[in-house]
Amino acid sequence: MPPPISSIMAQDWLRAVWSDGATIRHQWMPYEKISPYAALAVIAGEDQRFPEHYGFDWIEIRQVLDDLEAGKSARGASTLSQQVAKNLFLWSGRDWIRKGLEAWFTVLLELLWSKQRILEVYLNIAEFGEYTFGAEAASRRFFDKSAAQLTAREAARLAAVLPNPRRYRVDRPSVYVLKRQRWIERQMRQLGGTAYLDRL
């Protein structure tokens, strides 16, 4: 069954009610009714080892630790599974309590759900713009079509804002977003196109 709401959506709903009266845009869509380009784009942009790992990408984590040791700025290494755990059950932030709970929920998700189910939930609860959650709501808002009709380019544009959908815009893409979109499109092709999803 679709989760009725995620923790992050609930927090945004409260913020909207008490501040500017905005409404949350969200419509659950089954995995089969979302363009495979959307699934491929979020994997290409966020977690290319998604089919292989068990919730934690130790290769990426090691790279982040090496970067920190070399004095480079910190960057995220969260997998799609970790992002689902955070968005569905927890809150934003970088405190250790939240990180510990995120790890626990990630292990549970990987034990109880298939990769396709994790990806389905991710595609339905990820934030693609202010008060806009899920591929269906984002597709309707930004492209005036259902998520089933998303092209590879449109899916890559949606995935390009995922690092920070409050800062980056789908409808008014910055140079960074356009550059990231092109990079995601290249990664989608290098992964082998939508046939890559057969590995899930």
| Residues 125-174 pLDDT 10s | 999 999 999 999 999 999 999 999 999 999 999 999 998 998 999 999 99
pLDDT at 65: 77
Mean pLDDT of the chain: 92
pLDDT at 92: 79
Comparing 7-21, 40-54, 154-168, 180-194, which segment has the lowest mean pLDDT?
Answer: 7-21
Q: How far is it, in rounded angstroms, from Cα 61 to Cα 59?
A: 6
pLDDT at 14: 85
CA atoms within 13 A on the CB side of 152: 13
Entry pTM: 0.92
The answer to whether the CB of 156 falls within 8 A of the CB of 41 is: yes
Interval 75-126: pLDDT, tens: 667 899 999 999 999 987 778 888 899 999 999 999 999 999 999 999 999 9
| Nearest by Cα to 196 from 73, 91, 40, 49 | 40
pLDDT at 29: 97
pLDDT at 91: 82
Q: Count Cβ neighbours within 10 Å for each residue of 153-170 and write b for 16 or more, e otherwise.
A: ebbbbbbbbbeebeebbb
The answer to whether the CB of 169 falls within 8 A of the CB of 177 is: yes
The answer to whether the CB of 122 falls within 8 A of the CB of 84 is: yes
Beta strands in 20-160 (DSSP E): 25-26, 127-129, 132-133
Residue 15 confidence (pLDDT) above 90: no
- Compute φ and ψ for 113, nearest 5 degrees: -115, 150
pLDDT at 76: 66
Share of residues in the chain with pLDDT > 90 (%) = 70
